[in-house]
Protein backbone atom coordinates (compact mmCIF):
# COMPACT_ATOMS: atom_id res chain seq x y z
CA UNK A 1 0.00 0.00 0.00
CA UNK A 2 1.30 3.44 -0.94
CA UNK A 3 1.23 5.99 1.88
CA UNK A 4 -0.52 9.31 1.17
CA UNK A 5 -0.31 12.63 3.03
CA UNK A 6 -2.70 15.55 2.41
CA UNK A 7 -1.88 19.13 3.48
CA UNK A 8 -4.16 22.16 3.07
CA UNK A 9 -5.24 25.02 5.32
CA UNK A 10 -8.85 24.52 4.20
CA UNK A 11 -10.28 21.61 6.28
CA UNK A 12 -13.10 21.03 3.81
CA UNK A 13 -10.56 20.27 1.07
CA UNK A 14 -8.54 17.95 3.29
CA UNK A 15 -11.63 16.01 4.37
CA UNK A 16 -12.97 15.95 0.83
CA UNK A 17 -9.77 14.43 -0.58
CA UNK A 18 -9.53 11.99 2.30
CA UNK A 19 -13.11 10.73 1.99
CA UNK A 20 -13.96 11.14 -1.72
CA UNK A 21 -10.98 9.45 -3.36
CA UNK A 22 -11.21 5.64 -3.26
CA UNK A 23 -7.73 5.23 -1.83
CA UNK A 24 -8.08 1.53 -0.92
CA UNK A 25 -9.05 0.61 -4.48
CA UNK A 26 -5.94 2.45 -5.69
CA UNK A 27 -3.70 0.53 -3.32
CA UNK A 28 -3.19 3.52 -1.04
CA UNK A 29 -3.77 4.51 2.56
CA UNK A 30 -3.98 8.06 3.92
CA UNK A 31 -1.17 8.10 6.50
CA UNK A 32 -2.05 11.55 7.81
CA UNK A 33 -3.36 15.04 7.14
CA UNK A 34 -2.21 18.51 8.19
CA UNK A 35 -3.55 22.04 7.98
CA UNK A 36 -0.35 24.09 7.71
CA UNK A 37 3.17 23.79 6.37
CA UNK A 38 4.91 23.33 9.72
CA UNK A 39 2.67 20.45 10.78
CA UNK A 40 2.89 19.09 7.25
CA UNK A 41 6.68 18.92 7.25
CA UNK A 42 6.67 17.17 10.63
CA UNK A 43 4.10 14.68 9.34
CA UNK A 44 6.08 14.01 6.15
CA UNK A 45 9.32 13.41 8.03
CA UNK A 46 7.52 11.05 10.39
CA UNK A 47 5.50 9.07 7.83
CA UNK A 48 7.79 9.34 4.75
CA UNK A 49 4.83 9.08 2.33
CA UNK A 50 4.97 7.94 -1.27
CA UNK A 51 2.37 10.50 -2.38
CA UNK A 52 1.79 14.08 -1.26
CA UNK A 53 -1.13 16.32 -2.22
CA UNK A 54 -0.57 19.79 -0.84
CA UNK A 55 -1.45 23.45 -1.12
CA UNK A 56 1.57 25.77 -1.25
CA UNK A 57 -0.13 29.05 -0.40
CA UNK A 58 -0.47 28.61 3.34
CA UNK A 59 0.49 30.95 6.21
CA UNK A 60 4.17 31.07 7.24
CA UNK A 61 5.28 28.96 4.31
CA UNK A 62 7.26 29.57 1.12
CA UNK A 63 5.74 27.06 -1.27
CA UNK A 64 8.64 26.71 -3.70
CA UNK A 65 11.14 26.33 -0.86
CA UNK A 66 8.98 23.60 0.63
CA UNK A 67 8.78 21.77 -2.71
CA UNK A 68 12.54 21.97 -3.19
CA UNK A 69 13.11 20.71 0.35
CA UNK A 70 10.78 17.77 -0.13
CA UNK A 71 12.23 16.71 -3.50
CA UNK A 72 15.78 17.05 -2.21
CA UNK A 73 15.18 15.17 1.04
CA UNK A 74 12.62 12.66 -0.32
CA UNK A 75 13.41 12.34 -4.05
CA UNK A 76 11.11 9.34 -4.59
CA UNK A 77 8.02 11.05 -3.20
CA UNK A 78 5.45 12.05 -5.82
CA UNK A 79 3.87 15.48 -5.35
CA UNK A 80 0.73 17.13 -6.71
CA UNK A 81 0.15 20.78 -5.88
CA UNK A 82 -3.43 21.96 -5.41
CA UNK A 83 -3.56 25.74 -5.13
CA UNK A 84 -5.44 28.93 -5.90
CA UNK A 85 -2.20 30.72 -6.84
CA UNK A 86 -2.51 31.47 -10.55
CA UNK A 87 0.99 32.29 -11.72
CA UNK A 88 2.46 30.57 -14.78
CA UNK A 89 6.10 31.20 -13.86
CA UNK A 90 5.47 29.86 -10.38
CA UNK A 91 3.90 26.71 -11.81
CA UNK A 92 6.83 26.24 -14.21
CA UNK A 93 9.32 26.53 -11.35
CA UNK A 94 7.36 24.03 -9.27
CA UNK A 95 7.40 21.52 -12.12
CA UNK A 96 11.13 22.12 -12.70
CA UNK A 97 11.67 21.26 -9.05
CA UNK A 98 9.94 17.91 -9.51
CA UNK A 99 6.19 18.37 -8.97
CA UNK A 100 4.13 15.81 -10.91
CA UNK A 101 0.99 17.94 -11.34
CA UNK A 102 0.10 21.60 -10.61
CA UNK A 103 -3.68 21.93 -10.21
CA UNK A 104 -5.63 25.14 -9.70
CA UNK A 105 -8.51 25.36 -7.24
CA UNK A 106 -11.28 24.56 -7.68
CA UNK A 107 -10.16 21.39 -9.45
CA UNK A 108 -12.50 18.92 -11.07
CA UNK A 109 -12.55 15.36 -9.79
CA UNK A 110 -11.29 13.97 -13.09
CA UNK A 111 -8.24 16.28 -12.86
CA UNK A 112 -7.50 15.00 -9.37
CA UNK A 113 -7.95 11.39 -10.44
CA UNK A 114 -5.63 11.90 -13.41
CA UNK A 115 -2.98 13.45 -11.12
CA UNK A 116 -3.25 10.56 -8.65
CA UNK A 117 -3.03 7.99 -11.45
CA UNK A 118 0.04 9.78 -12.87
CA UNK A 119 1.79 9.72 -9.49
CA UNK A 120 0.96 6.07 -8.87
CA UNK A 121 2.08 5.23 -12.40
CA UNK A 122 5.47 6.82 -11.78
CA UNK A 123 5.80 4.98 -8.49
CA UNK A 124 4.88 1.70 -10.20
CA UNK A 125 7.39 2.25 -13.00
CA UNK A 126 10.12 2.97 -10.48
CA UNK A 127 9.31 -0.24 -8.59
CA UNK A 128 9.31 -2.27 -11.81
CA UNK A 129 12.68 -0.83 -12.83
CA UNK A 130 14.17 -1.72 -9.45
CA UNK A 131 12.87 -5.29 -9.71
CA UNK A 132 14.20 -5.62 -13.26
CA UNK A 133 17.60 -4.39 -12.21
CA UNK A 134 17.65 -6.88 -9.38
CA UNK A 135 16.85 -9.80 -11.68
CA UNK A 136 19.34 -8.63 -14.30
CA UNK A 137 22.16 -8.40 -11.80
CA UNK A 138 22.04 -4.63 -11.63
CA UNK A 139 22.72 -3.92 -15.34
CA UNK A 140 20.61 -0.86 -16.27
CA UNK A 141 19.05 -0.56 -19.71
CA UNK A 142 18.70 2.65 -21.73
CA UNK A 143 15.29 3.42 -20.25
CA UNK A 144 16.56 2.98 -16.73
CA UNK A 145 19.55 5.21 -17.40
CA UNK A 146 17.27 7.93 -18.77
CA UNK A 147 15.03 7.77 -15.70
CA UNK A 148 18.08 7.89 -13.44
CA UNK A 149 19.40 10.96 -15.27
CA UNK A 150 16.01 12.70 -15.01
CA UNK A 151 15.82 11.91 -11.29
CA UNK A 152 19.33 13.25 -10.73
CA UNK A 153 18.47 16.44 -12.64
CA UNK A 154 15.40 16.99 -10.45
CA UNK A 155 17.37 16.35 -7.27
CA UNK A 156 20.07 18.75 -8.48
CA UNK A 157 17.53 21.47 -9.28
CA UNK A 158 15.86 21.11 -5.89
CA UNK A 159 19.13 20.94 -3.97
CA UNK A 160 20.71 23.94 -5.71
CA UNK A 161 17.50 25.90 -5.05
CA UNK A 162 17.81 25.09 -1.34
CA UNK A 163 21.49 26.06 -1.19
CA UNK A 164 20.83 29.36 -3.00
CA UNK A 165 18.08 30.23 -0.51
CA UNK A 166 20.20 29.13 2.47
CA UNK A 167 23.11 31.33 1.38
CA UNK A 168 20.77 34.28 0.83
CA UNK A 169 19.35 33.80 4.34
CA UNK A 170 22.86 33.74 5.83
CA UNK A 171 23.79 36.90 3.90
CA UNK A 172 20.71 38.66 5.26
CA UNK A 173 21.07 37.49 8.87
CA UNK A 174 24.83 37.17 9.50
CA UNK A 175 24.69 39.79 12.26
CA UNK A 176 22.32 37.66 14.36
CA UNK A 177 23.27 34.75 16.61
CA UNK A 178 22.66 32.48 13.66
CA UNK A 179 22.61 28.70 13.98
CA UNK A 180 22.43 25.94 11.40
CA UNK A 181 18.98 25.08 12.77
CA UNK A 182 17.73 28.60 11.98
CA UNK A 183 18.79 28.31 8.34
CA UNK A 184 17.45 24.76 8.02
CA UNK A 185 14.06 25.85 9.35
CA UNK A 186 13.98 28.69 6.81
CA UNK A 187 14.55 26.33 3.86
CA UNK A 188 12.37 23.50 5.27
CA UNK A 189 15.03 20.78 5.50
CA UNK A 190 16.68 18.98 8.39
CA UNK A 191 19.97 20.29 9.79
CA UNK A 192 21.71 17.11 8.66
CA UNK A 193 20.44 17.43 5.10
CA UNK A 194 21.31 21.12 4.83
CA UNK A 195 24.81 20.48 6.17
CA UNK A 196 25.30 17.79 3.52
CA UNK A 197 24.08 20.09 0.73
CA UNK A 198 26.25 23.03 1.82
CA UNK A 199 29.33 20.83 1.82
CA UNK A 200 28.44 19.37 -1.57
CA UNK A 201 27.72 22.66 -3.34
CA UNK A 202 30.16 25.05 -1.62
CA UNK A 203 32.88 22.82 -0.21
CA UNK A 204 32.40 24.51 3.17
CA UNK A 205 30.45 23.77 6.33
CA UNK A 206 27.94 26.17 7.86
CA UNK A 207 30.41 27.79 10.28
CA UNK A 208 32.93 28.40 7.52
CA UNK A 209 30.30 30.01 5.29
CA UNK A 210 28.96 32.19 8.10
CA UNK A 211 32.43 33.33 9.12
CA UNK A 212 33.34 34.10 5.50
CA UNK A 213 30.25 36.31 5.14
CA UNK A 214 30.94 38.01 8.46
CA UNK A 215 34.57 38.70 7.59
CA UNK A 216 33.64 40.21 4.23
CA UNK A 217 31.29 42.59 6.03
CA UNK A 218 33.92 43.34 8.67
CA UNK A 219 36.44 44.26 5.97
CA UNK A 220 34.00 46.79 4.54
CA UNK A 221 33.39 48.33 7.96
CA UNK A 222 37.12 48.51 8.69
CA UNK A 223 37.46 50.98 5.83
CA UNK A 224 35.79 53.53 8.09
CA UNK A 225 38.47 54.67 10.58
CA UNK A 226 35.87 56.20 12.90
CA UNK A 227 34.48 52.76 13.85
CA UNK A 228 36.03 50.91 16.78
CA UNK A 229 37.09 47.33 16.03
CA UNK A 230 35.09 46.10 19.01
CA UNK A 231 31.95 47.72 17.61
CA UNK A 232 32.64 46.17 14.19
CA UNK A 233 33.01 42.73 15.77
CA UNK A 234 29.61 43.12 17.43
CA UNK A 235 28.03 44.50 14.26
CA UNK A 236 28.92 41.35 12.30
CA UNK A 237 27.65 38.95 14.94
CA UNK A 238 30.51 38.36 17.39
CA UNK A 239 29.94 38.83 21.11
CA UNK A 240 33.53 37.85 21.93
CA UNK A 241 36.22 40.24 20.63
CA UNK A 242 38.95 37.61 21.03
CA UNK A 243 36.95 35.15 18.93
CA UNK A 244 36.44 37.77 16.23
CA UNK A 245 40.18 38.51 16.17
CA UNK A 246 41.09 34.82 15.79
CA UNK A 247 38.59 34.26 13.00
CA UNK A 248 39.58 37.45 11.17
CA UNK A 249 43.29 36.61 11.18
CA UNK A 250 42.58 33.04 10.09
CA UNK A 251 40.33 34.16 7.24
CA UNK A 252 42.20 37.26 6.05
CA UNK A 253 45.79 36.45 7.03
CA UNK A 254 46.41 39.60 9.07
CA UNK A 255 44.86 41.13 12.19
CA UNK A 256 41.90 43.47 11.89
CA UNK A 257 44.08 46.40 12.93
CA UNK A 258 46.74 45.54 10.34
CA UNK A 259 44.06 45.23 7.67
CA UNK A 260 42.63 48.61 8.63
CA UNK A 261 46.06 50.22 8.27
CA UNK A 262 46.25 48.98 4.68
CA UNK A 263 42.81 50.19 3.60
CA UNK A 264 42.20 53.38 5.53
CA UNK A 265 45.33 55.35 4.70
CA UNK A 266 44.45 59.07 4.99
CA UNK A 267 44.16 60.79 1.61
CA UNK A 268 46.88 63.38 0.92
CA UNK A 269 45.74 66.91 0.14
CA UNK A 270 46.35 67.86 -3.49
CA UNK A 271 49.18 70.34 -4.00
CA UNK A 272 48.14 74.01 -4.11
How many other CB atoms are there within 10 angstroms of residue 178's CB atom?
Answer: 18
What residues pair up with 110 in beta bridges, in sequence order? none
Q: How many helices (H) and strands (E) does the chain have?
A: 12, 5
Residue-by-residue DSSP string for 111-141: HHHHHHHHHHHHHHHHHHHHHHHHHTTT---
Q: How far apart are CA 109 and CA 52, in angstroms?
A: 17
E strand or H helix at 98 = none
Q: One fold for both 2-135 and 208-263? A: no
Answer for the pair 85, 56: CB distance below 8 angstroms, yes or no.
yes
Q: Which sequence spans correspond to the domains of the chain?
A: 2-135, 208-263
Compute the distance between CA of residue 14 and CA of residue 97 in angstroms, rounded to an integer: 24
Task: Give all strands (DSSP E) within the chain, no chain letters.
Answer: 2-7, 28-34, 51-54, 78-83, 101-104
pLDDT digits (tens), the chain, 272 positions: 999 999 998 999 999 999 999 999 999 999 999 988 888 888 999 999 999 999 887 776 777 888 898 888 898 999 999 888 777 788 888 888 889 999 988 888 899 999 999 999 999 887 776 666 666 555 555 555 656 666 666 678 889 999 999 999 999 999 999 999 999 999 988 899 999 999 999 999 999 999 999 999 999 999 998 999 999 999 999 999 999 999 999 999 999 999 998 876 554 444 55
**Which residues are within 8 A (CB) of 232 and not within 5 positions of it... i.e. 6 or more apart?**
218, 221, 222, 256
Q: Which CATH superfamily is domain 208-263 in?
A: Homeodomain-like (1.10.10.60)
Q: Is the domain defined by 2-135 classed in CATH 2.40.128.130?
A: no
Establish whether the linkage from the previous residue to 106 is cis, with ω within 30° of 0.
yes
CB 247 within 8 A of CB 215: yes
Q: What is the pTM of this model?
A: 0.76
State which H helix or E strand residue 73 sits in.
helix 63-73
* Residue 51 main-chain phi, psi, to 5 deg: -130, 135
Sheet strand arrangement including 28-34: 28-34, 2-7, 51-54, 78-83, 101-104
Question: What is the distance between the terminal CA atoms of the chain, rounded to a whole angstrom?
Answer: 88
Give the Cα separation of 106 and 83 in Å (integer).
8
Count of other CB atoms within 10 angstroms of residue 156: 12
Q: How far apart are CA 252 and CA 62, in angstroms?
A: 36
Amino acid sequence: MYKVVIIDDEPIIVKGLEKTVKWNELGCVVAGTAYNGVEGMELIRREKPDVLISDICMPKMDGLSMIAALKSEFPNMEITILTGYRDFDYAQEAIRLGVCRFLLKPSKMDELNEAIEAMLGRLGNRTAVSETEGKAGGEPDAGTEKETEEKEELESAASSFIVKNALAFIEANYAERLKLADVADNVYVSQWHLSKLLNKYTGQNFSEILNRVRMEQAKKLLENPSLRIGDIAEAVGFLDMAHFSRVFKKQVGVSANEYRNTVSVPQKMPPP
